[in-house]
C-alpha cells in the first residue's frame, strides 16, 4: 500500500520545519510527502528543500498562488499529483509522533476512512518547541503526563497507545462530527469517487466536514483512530471566521441531501 501524506501550509516555516522533523523520524519510512502550499513565500520552499535533502522518501512541493484561504484547492492539487493508494491529510502545524505512519498503515481498511485526533499545545510551550526545536515527536506518554500537569497541553489521554479492537473503532460508522483534515486518512479511490474537497466553500471552515459527509453518503464509513494516531497541534491564532455562517449553511444543505460529489473539486486537476 502506497501512502502519501498531504501537509497543508501557509507562511509558517518554523512550524512546518518541526512537522517535517517528525516525519523524518518515522519508524515506517515507506511513504511520500506532498506539501500543499496555499501560496507561501520562499522561506517555506527553503524548509521543504532542506527536508528533501535529508529524507529517505520523496518530498514534493505543490504550490498555488496566494489568493486568500484556499486549503481545499491546495489539498486537491496535492491528491491529483500523487499515484498513492492511501492519503493522510494533515496540517503544517501538526507534529506526528514517530509511529504515526506505522499506526495509520495498520488501521487502513478498504471501505473506511480513519479519523485521528489531536493534542493542543499551549502558546508558551509552542514557542519553546519552535525556538529550541524540541523533538516532541519522540516523547513518551509519561513525559506528556508531566506536560499536562504543567499546563503545556490541553489533554493527556490521546497520547496513550491502547490495543483497542477494531469492533470498537468501527462502532460509529456514520459519525462525521470531529473528523478533521488535520488528521484524516482516506483511500485515494474514495477521494476520486466524491471529487475530493469542495472548493466552493469560501474562506476557513467546514470544508473538511463537507468531505466527510460526502464520503459517508458514498458508503465510506468512519473508523476511529483514537489512542493510536494523535498529532501534536502547535498553537496559533484563530483564523478569520467571517465566512463561517455561510459555510455552515452550505454544510447544513449537504446534510439534508444525498449528494456525493463536490461541486468544484478534484476532477479539474486529474
CATH assignment of the domain containing 118: 3.90.550.10
Listed residue (191, 208, 206, 203) closest to 261, CA to CA: 191
- The cell for 211 is 468531505
Half-sphere exposure in the Cβ direction for 182 (13 Å, CA)? 18
- Please, what is the average pLDDT of the chain? 95
Kindly list the distances between the CA atom of residue 84 and the CA atoms of 8, 69, 124, 158, in Å, as whole numbers in the listed order: 17, 26, 37, 28
Portion of the chain with pLDDT greater than 70, in percent:
98
Average the pLDDT over 10-26 and give the result: 98
- The cell for 104 is 495509520
Listed residue (85, 88, 92, 84) closest to 63, CA to CA: 92
Rounded-to-integer distance, Cα 204 and Cα 218, Å: 25
Kindly list the distances between the CA atom of residue 131 and the CA atoms of 42, 127, 201, in Å, as whole numbers in the listed order: 20, 6, 35
Quick: pLDDT tens for 19-53: 999 999 999 999 999 999 999 999 999 999 999 99
Rounded-to-integer distance, Cα 210 and Cα 261, Å: 10
Counting the structural domains of the chain, the total is 1
SS (H, E, C) 87-133: EEEEECCEECCCCHHHHHHHHCCCCEEEECCEEEECHHHHHHHHHHC
Rounded-to-integer distance, Cα 138 and Cα 208, Å: 28
Average the pLDDT over 5-12 and give the result: 97
Query: Could you tell me if 215 and 186 are in contact, meaning their C-beta atoms sit under 8 angstroms apart?
Result: yes
- Residue 161 domain boundaries: 3-269
Listed residue (139, 262, 264) closest to 191, CA to CA: 262
pTM (two decimals) = 0.96
Average the pLDDT over 46-70 and give the result: 94
Query: Could you tell me if 76 and 197 are in contact, meaning their C-beta atoms sit under 8 angstroms apart?
Result: yes
Quick: pLDDT tens for 117-172: 999 999 999 999 999 999 999 999 999 999 999 999 999 999 999 999 999 999 99
Q: 117-142 in b/e burial notation, b at 16+ Cβ within 10 A?
A: bbbebbeebbeebbeeeeebbebeee
Quick: pLDDT tens for 204-243: 778 999 999 999 999 999 999 999 999 999 998 776 666 6
Amino acid at each position: 500500500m502506497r501512502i502519501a501524506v498531504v501537509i497543508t501550509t501557509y507562511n509558517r516555516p518554523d512550524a512546518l520545519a518541526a512537522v517535517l522533523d517528525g516525519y523524518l523520524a518515522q519508524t515506517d519510512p515507506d511513504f511520500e510527502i506532498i506539501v500543499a502550499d496555499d501560496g507561501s513565500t520562499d522561506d517555506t520552499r527553503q524548509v521543504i528543500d532542506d527536508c528533501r535533502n535529508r529524507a529517505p522518501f520523496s518530498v514534493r512541493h505543490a504550490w498555488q498562488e496566494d489568493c486568500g484561504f484556499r486549503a481545499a484547492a491546495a489539498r486537491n492539487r496535492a491528491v491529483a499529483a500523487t499515484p498513492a493508494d492511501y492519503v493522510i491529510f494533515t496540517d503544517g502545524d501538526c507534529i506526528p509522533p514517530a509511529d504515526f505512519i506505522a499506526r495509520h498503515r495498520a488501521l487502513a481498511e478498504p471501505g473506511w476512512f480513519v479519523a485521528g485526533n489531536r493534542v493542543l499545545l499551549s502558546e508558551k510551550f509552542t514557542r519553546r518547541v519552535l525556538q529550541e526545536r524540541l523533538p516532541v515527536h519522540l516523547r513518551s506518554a509519561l513525559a506528556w503526563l508531566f506536560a499536562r500537569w504543567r499546563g503545556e497541553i490541553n489533554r493527556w489521554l490521546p497520547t496513550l497507545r491502547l490495543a483497542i479492537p477494531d469492533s470498537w473503532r468501527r462502532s460509529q460508522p456514520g459519525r462525521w462530527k470531529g473528523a478533521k483534515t488535520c488528521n484524516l486518512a482516506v483511500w485515494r479511490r474514495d477521494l476520486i469517487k466524491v471529487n475530493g474537497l469542495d472548493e466552493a466553500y469560501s474562506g476557513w471552515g467546514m470544508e473538511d466536514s463537507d468531505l466527510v459527509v460526502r464520503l459517508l453518503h458514498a458508503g465510506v464509513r468512519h473508523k476511529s483512530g483514537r489512542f493510536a494516531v494523535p498529532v501534536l497541534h502547535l498553537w496559533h491564532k484563530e483564523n478569520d471566521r467571517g465566512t463561517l455562517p455561510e459555510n455552515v449553511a452550505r454544510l447544513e444543505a449537504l446534510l439534508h441531501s444525498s449528494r456525493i460529489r463536490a461541486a468544484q473539486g478534484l476532477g479539474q486537476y486529474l
